[in-house]
Homo-oligomer: A and B are copies of this chain.
Amino acid sequence: MSFQKLDELCHKLEALEHALAILGADEATHMAVGGGAKRAEAMAALAGMLHRQASAPEVRDWIETAKSEDLNDDQRIAVTELDRHYTNLTCLPSEFVERQTVQRLRCEQLWRDLRGKNDWDNFRPALEAVVDTVREEAALRAQVLKLDPYDALMEQYDPGNRAADIAPVFEGLKTFLKDFVPKALSIQAERDAKNPRKPLAGPYAVERQRALGLALMEAVGFDFTHGSLSVSHHPFCGGVPTDVRITTRYKSNDFLSALMGVLHETGHALYEQNLPHEWGHWPLGRARGMAVHESQSLFVEKQLGRNPAFWQWALPVVERELGESWKVEEILPWVHHVERGLIRVDADEVTYPLHVILRFELERELIAGRLNVADLPEAWNAKMEEYLGLSTLDNPADGPMQDVHWPSGAFGYFPSYTLGALMAAQQWAAFERAHPDANAEIAQGRFEAVNEWRRSNIWKEGSHYSTPDLVTRATGEKLDARFFIAHLEHRYGS
């Protein structure tokens, strides 16, 4: 039976993915510094084996045969989802993939070097080459997938997402934020002037911060029989669903930095830990995509973790673990701090979407060929001035050289961040409609109901549905920015 052959294949692929995931997490947490070269060699070889086995020509035959076999509903969807993966994996000629891999690596290496030197001129030709090839890739994928080129790229990260649906949502959000950011900032300035902030100064010992993080992780639902917390230079959520590795990094003068990072990664981890295990070796059993994943991390970090009700419950835990007493009204100015800045990853939830919309608009133009790399610094600056009132004209390092995404060829990924934020707000609103006691429970440190809601509406679905379908099924309607806007107005607008 072909389904059986596919099932065996998926077990083999899962073993290689398992190895890559654990080796990757290990590299960032426990590997000795001198182990890097051999680790890179080993991971490249394993990735090669994975690609070869996943894209073998006979898999196409098995998929086609399996479609006409006597399968139950889940099996049928599993084959369809595998088909989608296989198509996306094999629709580029291998000659093209090799050329692109070399180009991306080269550009990423250059970027690591030249960003620090703010050297756009020497970086530009490499980025131009990457953009040329991404245009080719988009065209190749578009032809096979029968999609618009940019959509064909997004499809890799969020199956079913279409720019034509997203653009108007982002447009409305942008219009709102251009007015709302100044408003939120002036409200904040007024409040700070009236009640100067209690300083957040520390020093907070790493061991105490870690204990605090573990306590909150556990309360929020992290399953320590299937995961752990360690330290790395850049926080991440990695590993495998049965053993999720999350990390943070500690600042001795600011316990919120590590803690909010822990909550963010815990959100990712809850999704992974609660995926349908019986399908763990099939694409069907994986998380839906980048936007939904981000919605789960932002749900925990922003919807729960920056909710005043959360801090009613959490501050006694902070006092117990850090020996420092805070009132809710003292901590909220830090938790809800808003600031205009050039750097996306440092942005708060109010300004963050503008960073993403800027990139979304620019990369659509780049892929469509209506914008050239040579004109990127000016185009970036124009939007930065319009959206956030900041200039990057003399500072391409913090402009189009800011992120690793473009040098590494990841176009179509940026929207996921803000789509995740919108989804999280829409999920919270749907949950609160079904469960009016939501805030009262959070204020008591009770997360069973909110986790149960996400388990049955999102986590257990794995990759059963496309991204937009999952949103609609979970929340009762299509993605709409009004929930996120209402959330920001409620939290920052008064």
Query: A residues bordering B, Cβ < 8 Å?
Result: 11-12, 14-16, 18-19, 22-23, 26, 29-35, 37-39, 41-46, 49, 223-228, 230, 240, 242-244, 280
Contacts and interface: CB of A to CB of B under 8 A. Distances in A.
B240 A35 contact: yes
- The residue in A14, A30, A31 that gathers the most chain B C-beta atoms within 10 A of its C-beta is A30
Contact of A243 (B32, B49, B224, B230): B32
A41 B243 CA distance: 14
Contact of A46 (B16, B43, B228, B243): B16
Nearest to A31: B243
A41 B227 contact: no
A357 to B, nearest CB: 38
Given A18-B39, A49-B49, 4 more contacts: A11-B41, A14-B41, A32-B243, A35-B226
A281 to B, nearest CB: 9
Contacts of A49: 12, 15, 49
- The residue in A23, A29, A227, A244 that gathers the most chain B C-beta atoms within 10 A of its C-beta is A23
Contacts of A19: 19, 23, 42, 46
Number of copies: 2
A38 B228 contact: no
A37 B228 contact: no
A171 B37 CA distance: 48
A19 B223 CA distance: 26
A227 B42 contact: no
A243 B15 contact: no
A39 B226 CA distance: 12
B38 A242 contact: yes
A32 B280 contact: no
Contacts of A242: 32, 34-35, 37-39
A244 B38 CA distance: 12
Contact of A15 (B30, B45, B225): B45
Nearest to A227: B32
Given A11-B45, A19-B46, A34 B228 contact: no
Given A18-B39, A19-B42, A23-B22, A223 B34 contact: yes
A38 B280 contact: yes
B32 A226 contact: yes
- Kindly list the 7 A-B residue pairs having the minimum CB-CB distance in the complex, ordered from nearest: A35-B243, A15-B45, A18-B42, A34-B225, A19-B19, A15-B42, A34-B226
B45 A228 contact: no
A12 B228 contact: no
Contacts of A223: 34
A16 B44 CA distance: 11
A240 B41 contact: no
Contacts of A39: 18, 242-243
Contacts of A42: 14-15, 18-19
Contacts of A35: 226, 240, 242-243
A224 B32 contact: yes
Nearest to A15: B45
Contacts of A46: 15-16, 19
Contacts of A280: 38
A369 B225 CA distance: 47
A228 to B, nearest CB: 5
A15 B459 CA distance: 34
A9 to B, nearest CB: 11
Nearest to A243: B35
Contacts of A26: 22, 26, 30
Given A22-B23, A45-B15, A38 B225 contact: no
24 contacts: A11-B41, A14-B41, A14-B45, A15-B41, A15-B42, A15-B43, A15-B44, A16-B46, A18-B39, A22-B22, A22-B23, A22-B26, A26-B26, A30-B230, A31-B243, A32-B225, A32-B226, A32-B243, A34-B225, A35-B226, A35-B242, A37-B242, A38-B243, A38-B280
A419 to B, nearest CB: 30
A244 B32 CA distance: 8
B32 A30 contact: no
Contacts of A226: 32, 34-35
A484 B225 CA distance: 47
